[in-house]
Amino acid sequence: MTEGPAGAAVEVLNEDEISRALARIAHQILEDNRGADRLIVLGIRTRGVPLARRIVGLLNEIEGADVPVGELDITMYRDDLRAHPTREVRQTRVPVSIDDAVVVLVDDVLYSGRTVVAAIDALRDLGRPRVVQLAVLVDRGHREVPIQADHVGKTVPTSRDERVHVHLEESDGYDRVTIERRATA
C-alpha cells in the first residue's frame, strides 16, 4: 500500500483521520487510567508538543478536567550526540511535579524507540512518576530497543528507506501524514 515511486509522497492519514485517531487515543487514555486524575501529558519536541496539546484539549473536553500539559526536549539525553554537529536545545516545560503522576509521553512517530528511551531518562531526572505511558500518532516499526507504545494512532508498515512526514496545522498549516520513498542516487 505504501509502495510508491521514489520521491512520491503517499498519504497515510488525512486531516479527519488524524482527528479521529487523536480522539480515540484520548478516550483510551481515560479508559486505561479510569479518568484524568493525576494525569500529565508531555509532548516530546518538536511535533509531539502540538499533539500533546490537542490530546489534552480532548481530555479536558471529554472529562471536564484540567490536565497539565508540558514539553520535553530530550536533546541532552540523546545517545547519538557525538554523531552530529551540536544540536540546538529547546525548552523543557513541566508545569507540575511528576512525582506519583501518570505521565503520558506523546510523540509523532515511533521508529527506533531511542527518542523514547531518552525521554524516559529525562523523566527520571525530573521525578518519579507512578506510571509512564506512550502515545504516538504513527508507529512505523523497526525498533532498535524494547519499547512499545500504549496508544497508537495508526500502525504503518514501512521499510527503512522510506520516510514518514507528519504535517500539523500548528507548524505546517495543514494536517497530513505521508510516506515517501527516499530517492536513491
Partner 1 sequence: MKHLLAAADLSPAEIASILDLAEEMHAVQSRQVKKLPTLRGRTVVNLFFEDSTRTRGSFELAEKWMSADAVNMSGKGSSVSKGESLRDTVLTLDAMGVDAFVIRHSGSGAVHQAAGWVRPNVSVVNAGDGAHEHPTQALLDAFAMRRHFRRHSTESWEDKTIAIVGDLTHSRVVRSNVSLLQTLGAQVILVAPPTLMPAGVSTWGVEIAPDFDAVLPRADVVMMLRVQRERMAGGFFPSAREYTVGYGLTRDRLERLKPGAAICHPGPMNRGVEISSDAADSVNSLVLDQVSAGVAVRMSVLYHLLGGEGQA
Residue 92 CB, shortest distance to partner 1, in Å, is: 7
Region binding partner 1 by CB under 8 A among candidate stretches 17-25, 80-88, 135-143, 161-169:
80-88
Residue 124 CB, shortest distance to partner 1, in Å, is: 8
Among 73, 108, 175, 180, binds partner 1 (CB under 8 A): 73
Touching partner 1, residues 23-62 (CB under 8 A): none
- Residue number with CB closer to partner 1 (124 or 142): 124
Residue 145 interacts with partner 1 (CB under 8 A): yes or no: no
x/- binding map, residues 98-127, to partner 1, per CB under 8 A? -----------------------x--xxxx
Q: Convert the chain into a string of H (helix), E (strand) and C (coil).
A: CCCCCCCCEEEEECHHHHHHHHHHHHHHHHHHCCCCCCEEEEEECCCHHHHHHHHHHHHHHHHCCCCCEEEECCHHHCCCHHHCCCCCCCCCECCCCCCCCEEEEEEEEECCCHHHHHHHHHHHHHCCCCEEEEEEEEECCCCCCCCCCCEEEEECCCCCCEEEEEECHHHHCCCEEEEEECCCC
**Residue 15 Cα to chain centre, angstroms:** 17
- Residue number with CB closer to partner 1 (31 or 125): 125
Peptide bond into 155 cis (omega under 30): no
Query: How many residues sit close enough to partner 1 to count as binding (CB under 8 A)?
Result: 20
Residue 68 interacts with partner 1 (CB under 8 A): yes or no: no
- Residue number with CB closer to partner 1 (77 or 111): 77
Residues in contact with partner 1 by CB under 8 A are 73, 76-77, 81-92, 121, 124-127
